[in-house]
């Protein structure tokens, strides 16, 4: 093993989000004494947040650390590679929520099971039996599948780094897993819950139930997000931090229909603080500028009311969103439902042959909201096939 003076080099990458990407080499001598040169690449950060000279200095620090921590390929374990190479390279491009869930699965599932195994000794059998063990311990399909995807990605990076010859996780299959619980609130319970909440909490719950918005979108709403008869998603909130311009997908940054039953409540809420800034949060927390955390709102504002009403089903944002999608089947075509939930995919047939119509979406949303709240529909509803 030897080190050589080098500064590496930095280049700009990315189409939508520009990043600085660094390159350098490490020189490794194997047991026979033969020295080989191995290329390394690393994501240094977004161009908008990092000047080039700062990216260059950051790369120099990475090179110095790498030279101090070089180990022979035969000694590299999966755990070492994940901590020292994979996460530093890949996590910079992940959204905060993605980074949290992905890192959690890697650190709590993959590394405890395979972290001490040298990369050269990891084969398909070890990978597949690891996934099988997760299923046997009762983990859901989403956890098992995420571990499969990340294990494949980790080992693919190791192939790129010339540390292993091929990726043993390329053709893994997901084992049978337990069926996930997908509760839906009955209409009478949903109506009772919404009517029992105070104005602010009722609005939040109704937006989750009928606008079918994700929690990060709701608590990231600004007063200017309200556009008369719809919201426009301008950003999201995550773990108490506002993220302007960020959304789960490209399609998530879209107009969201507000049903008529919500509009008077929403206008009353806005009129209660007429001097507030348009850039201010629509539902501010007790700390100025800090978004409400979804888990705190559920624990302290929604769940106690649900418990008092004797609602046995679990109540959270996913349940409210799923409840809307379930009820919507009675009133609209699948394409309109997809448009309102802002999902990116539906079956090929629906994507090609059925197009969303704005009036259909509004009719659908109003019909679901009025039906759940026990309000007679304002206009006769014709189900669109």
Write the CATH number for 114.
Answer: 1.10.150.130
Residues 246 and 97 in one domain: no
Of 149, 180, 211, the position where a domain reaches its end is 180
Per-residue model confidence as pLDDT tens digits over 278-313: 889 999 998 888 899 999 999 999 999 999 999 988
Per-residue model confidence as pLDDT tens digits over 168-188: 999 999 999 887 777 889 899
Residue 332: pLDDT above 80? no
Domain assignment of residue 121, yes or no? yes
Per-residue model confidence as pLDDT tens digits over 186-202: 899 999 999 999 999 99
Cβ-contact 237, 251 below 8 angstroms: no
Reading the block at residue 14, the tokens are 């990315």
Per-residue model confidence as pLDDT tens digits over 30-78: 555 566 778 888 899 999 889 999 999 999 888 877 765 555 666 789 9
Phi-psi region of 137 (alpha: psi -120 to 50; beta: other; left: phi over 0): alpha
Give the separation between CA 280 and CA 330, rounded to whole angstroms. 37
Task: Report, as an integer, the average pLDDT of 310-325.
Answer: 88
Domain assignment of residue 290, yes or no? yes
**Could you give the percent of the chain with pLDDT greater than 70?**
88
Q: What is the DSSP string of 232-254?
A: E--EEEETTEEEET--SSGGGSS
Domain assignment of residue 277, yes or no? yes
pLDDT at 351: 36
Residues 274 and 355 in one domain: yes
Domain count, the chain: 3
Domain assignment of residue 382, yes or no? no
pLDDT at 347: 46
Q: Give the confidence band of 3 by pLDDT, cuts at 50, 70, 90.
A: very low
Of 145, 180, 215, the position where a domain reaches its end is 180
Reading the block at residue 123, the tokens are 């084969």
Domain assignment of residue 15, yes or no? yes
pLDDT at 135: 94
Task: Report, as an integer, the average pLDDT of 95-106.
Answer: 86
Domain assignment of residue 385, yes or no? no
Model pTM? 0.66
pLDDT at 342: 72
The gap from C-alpha 12 to its chain's centroid, in whole angstroms, comes to 26
Buried b (16+ CB within 10 A) or exposed e, 34-45: eeeeeebbbbbb
Give the separation between CA 185 and CA 346, rounded to whole angstroms. 24
Give the separation between CA 46 and CA 370, rounded to whole angstroms. 46
Residues 213 and 346 in one domain: yes
Nearest Cα neighbor of 299 from 215, 199, 221 is 215
pLDDT at 348: 31
Of 131, 155, 180, the position where a domain reaches its end is 180
Q: Is 208 exposed, middle or buried (0-12, 13-18, 19+ CB in 10 A)?
A: buried
Give the separation between CA 39 and CA 162, rounded to whole angstroms. 8
Residues 214 and 313 in one domain: yes
Mean pLDDT over the full length of the chain: 84
Strands (DSSP E) found in the chain? 9-13, 19-29, 35-46, 230-232, 235-238, 241-244, 255-257
Task: Report, as an integer, the average pLDDT of 251-271.
Answer: 89
Range of the domain at 129: 73-180
Between β-strands 19-29 and 35-46, what pairing exists: parallel, antiparallel or unpaired? antiparallel
pLDDT at 353: 32
Residues 211 and 334 in one domain: yes
Residues 150 and 283 in one domain: no
Residues 253 and 296 in one domain: yes
131-135 contacts at long range (C-beta below 8 A, 24 or more positions apart): 131/172, 131/174, 131/175, 132/175, 134/109, 134/175, 135/174, 135/175, 135/176, 135/177, 135/178
């Amino acid at each position: 093993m030897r080190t050589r003076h080098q500064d590496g080099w930095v280049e700009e990458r990315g189409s939508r989000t520009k990043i600085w990407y660094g390159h350098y080499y490490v020189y490794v001598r194997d047991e026979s004494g033969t020295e080989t040169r191995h290329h390394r690449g690393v994501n240094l950060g977004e161009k908008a947040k990092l000047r080039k000279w700062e990216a260059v200095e950051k790369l120099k620090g990475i090179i110095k650390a790498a030279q101090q921590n070089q180990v022979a390929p035969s000694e590299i374990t999966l755990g070492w590679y994940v901590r020292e190479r994979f996460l530093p390279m890949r996590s910079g491009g992940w959204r905060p929520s993605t980074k949290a869930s992905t890192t959690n699965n890697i650190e709590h599932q993959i590394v405890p099971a395979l972290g001490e195994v040298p990369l050269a000794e990891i084969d398909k059998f070890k990978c597949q039996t690891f996934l099988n063990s997760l299923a046997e311990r009762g983990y859901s399909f989403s956890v098992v599948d995420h571990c499969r995807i990340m294990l494949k990605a980790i080992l693919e990076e190791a192939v790129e780094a010339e540390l292993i010859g091929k990726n043993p996780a390329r053709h893994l299959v997901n084992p049978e897993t337990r069926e996930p619980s997908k509760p839906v609130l009955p209409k009478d319970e949903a109506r009772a819950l919404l009517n029992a909440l105070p104005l602010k909490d009722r609005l939040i719950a109704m937006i989750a139930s009928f606008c079918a918005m994700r929690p990060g979108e709701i608590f990231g709403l600004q007063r200017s997000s309200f556009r008369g008869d719809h919201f426009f998603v301008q950003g999201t909130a995550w773990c108490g931090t506002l993220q302007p311009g960020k959304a789960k997908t490209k399609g998530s940054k879209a107009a969201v229909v507000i049903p008529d039953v919500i509009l008077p409540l929403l206008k009353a809420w806005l009129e209660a603080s007429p001097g507030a800034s348009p850039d201010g949060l629509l539902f501010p927390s007790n700390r100025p500028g800090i978004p409400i955390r979804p888990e705190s709102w559920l624990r302290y504002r929604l769940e106690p009311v649900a418990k008092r009403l004797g609602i046995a089903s679990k109540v959270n944002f996913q349940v409210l969103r799923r409840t809307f999608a379930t009820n919507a089947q009675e009133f609209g075509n699948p394409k309109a439902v997809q448009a309102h939930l802002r999902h990116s995919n539906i079956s090929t047939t629906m994507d090609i042959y059925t197009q969303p119509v704005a009036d259909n979406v509004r009719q659908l949303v109003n019909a679901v909201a009025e039906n759940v709240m026990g309000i007679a529909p304002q206009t006769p509803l014709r189900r669109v096939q």
